[in-house]
Structures are given as structure tokens and as C-alpha cells.
Amino acid sequence: MDLKSSSSHSKDLTDPVNDLSARISKTKTTEEKSKFSFIGFFHRIFKRQKNYYPRTIKIGKSTTLSTGGTKFPVNAVCNTKYNILTFVPLVLFQEFKFFINLYFLFVATCQFIPEIRIGDPITYWGPLGFVLFVTLIKEAVDDIVRLWRDKEINNQKYNRMCRNGNTVIRSKSIKVGDLIMIEKDKRIPADVVLIKTTEKAGACFVRTDQLDGETDWKLRLAIPFTQNLAEDSDLFDLDCEIYAENPKKDIHAFIGTYKIVESDGKIIDGSLSVENVLWANTVLASGTAIGLVIYTGRETRSVMNANQPKSKVGLVDLEVNNLTKILCMFVVGLAAVMLLMKGFDTYWYRYLMRFILIFSYIIPISLRVNLDMAKLYYAWSISRDKHIPDTKVRSLTISEELGRISYLLSDKTGTLTKNEMKFKKVSAFGGNFTEITTHLETAYSLNQANIHPIILNIKTTVEAIALCHNVTPIEENEKIVYQAASPDEIALVEWTEKVGIKLASRDLNSMELELYNGDRKKFDILHLFPFTSETKRMGIIVRDDETKEVSFLMKGADTVMSQMVQYNDWLEEECSNMAREGLRTLVVARKILSPEQLADFETQFHTAKMSLTDRNQHIAAVLRRLETDLQLLCLTGVEDSLQDQVTTSLELLRNAGIKVWMLTGDKLETAICIAKSSGLFSKTDNIHVFGNVQNRRQARTELDKFKKMNNVALVMQGSSLDICLRYFEAEVAGLVCECSAVVCCRCSPEQKAQIVNLLKRYKKPARIAAIGDGGNDVSMIQAAHAGIGIDAKEGKQASLAADFSITQFHHICRLFLVHGRFCYKRSCSLSQFVIHRGLILSVIQAIFSWMFFFVSFSFYPGVLLVGYATAYTMFPVFSLVLDRDITSAEALLFPQMYGVLRKGRSLSIKTFCIWLMISLYQGTVVMCGSYVGVYDNNFVELMATSFTALVITELIMVALTIHKWHWAMYLSQALSLICFMGSMLYFNEYFNLKFITSSNFLLRTSLIILLACLPLYIIKVTRRALSASTSYNQIY
């Protein structure tokens, strides 16, 4: 039966094509709002209510359907932002949120009022229309691309199972209650419960990298009863009911149950968890699967987790926005001054508005468009840099932030280290195992009664390591490779293989170990408890197929396991010893279960799993009763080697004035060891380990002790940090920010983000960067001003969530010191020149009005003003994004120069005032120089002389600013000059051909340009010489 999302859900339906029976029931928990409410009508249009309900789906013989009148969302993917009706209104709404656009809309609209109209309306509507046109085209192209992608996904075809045969159905037509067949390497179109698979034992693998960023394959399990059906068509003879909880965002949890009534009346029930579900947009990696659709469309996990993070605004954008507001006040102030000089009359407000309109060119409407285009170029140049291959820019708006970083917060594992685990050591009873292979050969060749206790312990320990994991051997290219979520587990299994116990095979119910002599030993898997970041441990219950002995095996972090194992006097000391060597430690333990203990546990565990409310808490309570009095077997140590060039990179960052903090979940000793070996702690640092505090008084004592220290590198545990921040947040922020380096160990993902936000609050406007490689770093990366993700082997979640994605830690140096510098300096130059272009024009206009008795009309015609802002100067000014004040090699060779950028001197109130003075000087020279010698106040000659001098002065100023010429700069200058000269010939009403070809015009224009530019050229040459000398002295 096809379950239709319409009002017909309230009636009993029979589908002649599909006799699959489905009954879906939902319980509404909220009252219905009035459908005829005027406000409610618009509320439903503009803000769709998202009420989610659980559902019960019955498959088999029944042909009834009851949904309580509610609808399920369609399964169509829709990532477009607009439709035909909303496109223009929404884009315009987004654009006019910007102050500068709203200001120009006001100015342009004033041109419709005859009393205050200034010149040709095209002068004002032209630039505004150009900006809006560019934005509309960009948004339209982006949305069309999204539409094409959506159509491609929505039209993918799948087989829907029916009693009378399968039918082909498009992805967008799939509905809740459908049984669909999914083939290998195909996208899962909706959230489905795994009913049956062609893989043995009812297990299949899915690739979830597009959902959670993790590249390891996930094992999923079919319902045992339906998996054992002989034929797929037998599904239609069942009396089966499946319950699914209301849709939620959590992709790592699911609560459901199934109940099957057999022909003899026997009831088989069981729980459903995330292991039984295939989420939409994952990919089936093995076999062919049959799934029952439980969630579609916006109720799928992938859509519910598709919320876009808040867009970040760079400091340069904030500074430009502030300058724009200053310019607005300057316009009003200048207009008021002109009005005061003119004198008040009856219609003074008209003249005020006219002066405001005349001077509106001071505020550059094209500035944001120029900066947006520059940011696209920055992203392109970063991604094309062969020195940092595969670098991706995912956030186009904050490239300049890379040039002003003060703090870099870094993860450890997979970021400073390679996350390539190598087994190094195993310790038991306070000593290290040696000659393990020989002892294992002895153990397996003798009867258990004749084995020496130490050798028996070695055998038990290695078997436990070989069994307690979630590793699956997979055949790829005729070779066996291990598939697991954690590289630690693979390292342990590879080690057991080296010493003589190999993981030969594994399925849902059993595991086989191949011994050194080729014999195989089989174990039945009774229960598996996967590792989570909350529990920090994993466990498994296995039964020896030969002896029938049942063992509960566990491994996990020492902080957790030390509370569960029997008393011992060596574990804590050995953990510290291994941590000082920089090894990652895991404690392995076991517990032999009697048949009675196993039966009692399984009864309680089944009850807990069948809970529909607080299931996880019930399961955890049952496991806690099992996780007691464990026999401690061993402590393992694996090594995670440092990333290439990490030591030199950290030194380079330190010399650039960037403080690097390491935030890790590892234990204190391991973190200190890595900090020393990586060079995070310099040789001159005094390392201070902050005491483990439990209350406010202890925190106060430790802080007082810490205050007295100088030149400190701080090591602090996450629990102590929580206590200190709770009572002394401001003081802690001030103290830790003075440290040369900081290491925070045992740090949770939430604490990492909390530290980022702490720095953002108390070190404003310092820019904070964060770098990590795992899912536990995402919150920190998204909270930082600039988030950098490393494309890791174990997953892409951090990389996908970051603003910038790199493949190696040392690439961050070039990203900051080279690209960060170039992006920041170029945006500053571009912003200043766009502002200067408007300022000098307004100065000329003000002087013109003053010379001619405070007239309130535009000096230059609208077409020339539009040409000045576009064809005559736009390309040379924009070509500044190609400029480089130093080479890439120099930026890396002298990292001390990076520190100057953090002070923000390239774009500040001081630089604004300098450019204001330059504009006042050049505008005065151009206007007064043009006026002198004009015969009989010839307006056309005055306009032609001043405008020509204005355009060429602007081009020369761009040329004087350039440090290193690029061929595109030459081209832009030449094209602008040709365009301007062509305009002079074409607009003969503004440029008298006889006059502009006369020697008088050429001489006067040349003198004006020379007088306007030469003093500034001399000042700039002098400043560069002095600046170079000062920079040299600072570096050396």
C-alpha cells in the first residue's frame, strides 16, 4: 500500500497495486490553531510549524490505515533558497539590511521629488542598480545550481516492493510505510529500518561521510526474524508492527520497537536502535537491503541536521562599516556647513537635502561589491597555491581574518599528531610483557592445567585484546584490511596478529581468531557495547565455542576503568609512566560470567532496551551493575607520532606573535609530553601545572599561587578550569592570556568552545583561530573567528564544518603569514582607494559650489560620474588585489612582520584621516588649478580640465600605491586610459575637441596632475625608506 500524505489518511484505503498493509498512528499533543485566523494564515505561510510525532507502522496482512488526520512531509529534497515569487523580494530584503544600500536607496528615491532633484537620476539609480543587478545574478545562478542538484537527487529511481511485484518509484515519491530495495553503492533516499539484507547474518555496511563526516564504514543490523525469512515476498504474510519515536536531530540515537505475532499466536518483540536504521543520504556499502521507510523529507535526520551555521563577519568588514557611518556623518556635516555659508531662507531644508544628495558620492556604494569580488579572488588564489595543496576555502567572507590572528587553539590528536597509531607497549602487574610470541606458542601447546600462571595471564590478556574491539576484517583488492572507527583499535588488533593471534573473520554473531599454527578458535558474540565519548569505554560479552566459558571484556580510559577494576597497586603508576613517554593508554579488564549471571543480565538488559522513555539511562544503569569487580588484565600504550614540520611550524607561529594553546581530551602527562616534543613549550618556559581543584577555596589558592609566576606555560585540567571559570572568570581570562603557551587536558568538546568564547569576550577585538580534525572539534571551530579543519583520515566532519580546510598542520603557517597578510593588506588598500575616489570628487563639488555662490547642482554630468565610478577607475583600483608588499618567501622568513598586522594600522581612523587630508589637498589642487586661467568662466573648459585631471590623478595614485606590478595592472591602466580618451571624443558636448587638443589644455592639466601627485610621491618614497629601516631594526 502507498501511504499518501493527504487528507485521505483519515479513511481506510486499499491500494490495488500494492497490497502491503500499513497502519500509521500519531498522537497529537498540541491544540489545533484556528485555520481561519488572519494572523495564523500568514504565520503558516512564512514560518512553517515543525511538530514531530512518533508513528507505528504495521506491515503484513492488515489493509487498514489510520493517521489521525496528520500529514507526512514529501520526500523531495529542496535546498533552494527562493522560488519565482519570493526571489526578488527576499534578495532585496537581504541587500537593504546593509546600511550603505539603504542609504543609497533613500538618495535615489529623493530624485523623484522635483524640488530636490539633482541632475540626471541615472547618476544615483545607476550605481545602485548595478550593485543590485550583480547580486540578483549571483543569487539566481547559485539557486539554479541548487535546483539542478535537487532535481538530480529527487529523480533517482528505486524499487518499491509490492505483493504483486516490484514497481519503480522516484525518490521524491517515496512515502512513510513503503518497503524499498536499496542496492550497493546507492544513496539511501529516506530514513529506513533495515528489514532484510543479502549479506550473511543480516549485517550490512553504510558509508556516512556525507552525514557525519566520518569515513569509516558503519555496521547496521537487520531485524533477526525478518532477516531469516526464506523469501522477500514472505514479508507480506507477516503480522508485524514497528514503532518509531518522533523525529529528532541526534544521528547517534534512535528508539523503536518491533512486535511480530506468529501464526500460532506467539509474540516476538524486540528493541530497535540506531544499529537497525539507515539514515537518508548515507550510502549502502555492501549487499542489497530492504528497508521500511519511517521518516521522509524534512523529518529525516540529514535534513534536521542541515542547519547552516551563523555566518561570520570579518573585522575588516566591521571596520569598513564603521567608516561608512563616519562618512555618512561627514556628508551631513558638509551639507550643513554649505547651508550655513549660503544662509537660511524659507526653503532651507530643500537646499540641505540637495547638498546631501550632491555629496552622497562620498559614501562608496560599490565598496561592498568590490570587497565581495576581492574575496572570491582570495579564495581562488588560496585553493590554487601549490605549496598548500588541497586547501579549500569554505567561508568566502573572512579571508582577511587570517592576517590578524592573535590566538590559535589547537586539538592534539590528528592535528599536532598524525593519528597513525603504533602499538608500543603492554604492561601487567607493574611489568612489561616480553617474548610474547614464545609464551603464546607454549600456552597453546600445553593443557591449561600445566601452563605457568604468568604464561596463562599472557594468553588471557592477548586474547582479550584480540576480542574486545569493534574491528571488522574486509577484503579489498584480494587483501584483508581492518575496518574500524578508531585507529587505536586497529593498532591493537594488528599487534595481536604480529604476536600470533589474528582476527580471521567476524560477523554479527561470532568472531574467529587464527592462531600462530593456523588453528582457529571461535567465539560467539552475545552482546556488544560500543565506545562513546561520554562513557570513554567499550565492552563485549563473548562465549568460547569450545569451553562455553562466557567472558565480559572491557577496555577504556584509565580514569574510568580504575574505578571498575579490582584493587591493584600498579595501574596508576604505569599510566603515568606511559603518559610521560607520550603514549595513549587503554586499560583492559575482564569478568567471567556464570550462566545465572548472564541470564539475569540479559533479562534486565532486554527490559531496558524495550523502554520507550529514557532508554539510554535504563541501559546505562543495567551496565553499571555489570561493570564492577573486573579483573585487571593489562595496560596498553600506543604511540601517535607528530605531524611533519610541526615543531618548526609552532616556532614560526610563536615568532609571529601568535599564542598557541593545545586543547585535548588526553590525560595530563601525555599532553605535557606532546607539548614538549612538538615545541609548543619553549626551552625557556616555566611549566606550571595548575592544581586539581574541587571548590572555590582551592581555586582561589591556586590562582594566588599562579599570579606570582612569570614567563609561564600553563597546564590545566578541564575540571579545574570549570571551577575557576565558575567563580573567577574575568581573573582567569586575564591570567591565562598572559601565558606564553597553554595546555588544557581532559577537555570536553563543550569546554573547547567555551574557551574560544572566553577569549572572544575578554580579548576583544583580538582574532581567535581554532584548528582540529575530529567531530569533537566542530563546536570549537565554529565558535572561533577563523575555524580551520584538517582533512583527517578518520573523518571530514571538522573539515566540512570549518571556514578553511587543510591537509597538514604546517600548512597553517602559509595560510596565516602569506595569504592572511595579502588578503588583509589588499582589502585595506582597496577600501581606502574606493573611499578616496568618492572623497576627492565631493571635495571638488564643494569647492565648485563655494566658487559659484553655493549653487546646489552637480558640477559633473551624470554620465561622467557613472563613468568615473566604473569604466575610468574601477579596474585599476580593483587591480590592487593583485599587489604584494613583500614576497611569500619574505613573509615566511620574517614572521615578526605579521605582528604589525594585528594592530590594524592598515585600515583605521588614522589612515582614514590621512586619506581625507589627501583628498582635500588633491581636490583643492584639481579644482583651483582648473579654475585659474579659465577665460570668462568658461564652464565647459573648467569641467573638461578638472575632470581629466581628476581621472588621471586617480590612476597615478593607484600606480604610486602598487608595490609589485602585475601584467593585469598594466592592462587595467591602459584600458581605463583608452576608455577615457574615447569618451572625450564621443561626449563632445562636455569635451570641446579644439580645446582638449590645444597646448594650453595639455600644459595646464599636466601641471595640475604634477602638483597633485608629486608631493605625495615624495612623502611615500620617504615613508617607505623609513619603514623598511624600522622593520629591519625590529626584526634584528
Contact 421, 487 (CB under 8 A): yes
The C-alpha cell of 764 is what? 576583544
| H-helix or E-strand spanning residue 14 | none
Dist CA 328 CA 325 (whole Å): 5
Residues in CB range of 39: below 8 A, 6 or more apart: none
Three-class SS state of 864? helix
Contact 177, 244 (CB under 8 A): no
Contact 161, 290 (CB under 8 A): yes
Residues in CB range of 423: below 8 A, 6 or more apart: 491, 492, 494, 495, 636, 637, 638
Choose among 725, 624, 735: nearest CA to 688.
735
Residue with cell 606573535: 657
Contact 929, 1010 (CB under 8 A): no
Dist CA 759 CA 763 (whole Å): 5
Phi, psi dihedral angles at 781 (to 5 degrees): -65, -45
Report the amino acid identity of residue 976. Answer: S
∠ at Cα 952 (948, 958), nearest 5°? Answer: 155
765 prior amide bond cis, ω within 30: yes
Dist CA 52 CA 29 (whole Å): 10
The C-alpha cell of 546 is what? 569450545
Pairing, β 392-393 against β 804-806: antiparallel
∠ at Cα 753 (749, 755), nearest 5°? Answer: 115
Three-class SS state of 196? strand
Residues in CB range of 204: below 8 A, 6 or more apart: 194, 197, 219, 220, 222, 284, 285, 286, 287, 289
Three-class SS state of 787? strand
Report the amino acid identity of residue 1003. Answer: L
Phi, psi dihedral angles at 510 (to 5 degrees): -150, 165
Neighbours of 47 (CB within 10 A): 8
Dist CA 849 CA 383 (whole Å): 50
Dist CA 818 CA 884 (whole Å): 10
Choose among 874, 843, 863, 876: nearest CA to 957.
876
Dist CA 542 CA 604 (whole Å): 18
Three-class SS state of 225? helix
The C-alpha cell of 79 is what? 535546498
Dist CA 503 CA 499 (whole Å): 12
> Which of 422-434 are b and which e, b meaning 16 or more Cβ less than 10 Å from the residue's Cβ?
ebbbbbbbeeebe
Sign for the pseudo-dihedral over CA of 612, 614, 617, 621: negative
CA 17 to chain centre: 46
Contact 202, 224 (CB under 8 A): yes
The total number of residues written for the chain in this structure: 1036
Choose among 287, 227, 281, 222: nearest CA to 251.
281
| H-helix or E-strand spanning residue 477 | none
| Enzyme catalytic residues | 411
Neighbours of 730 (CB within 10 A): 11
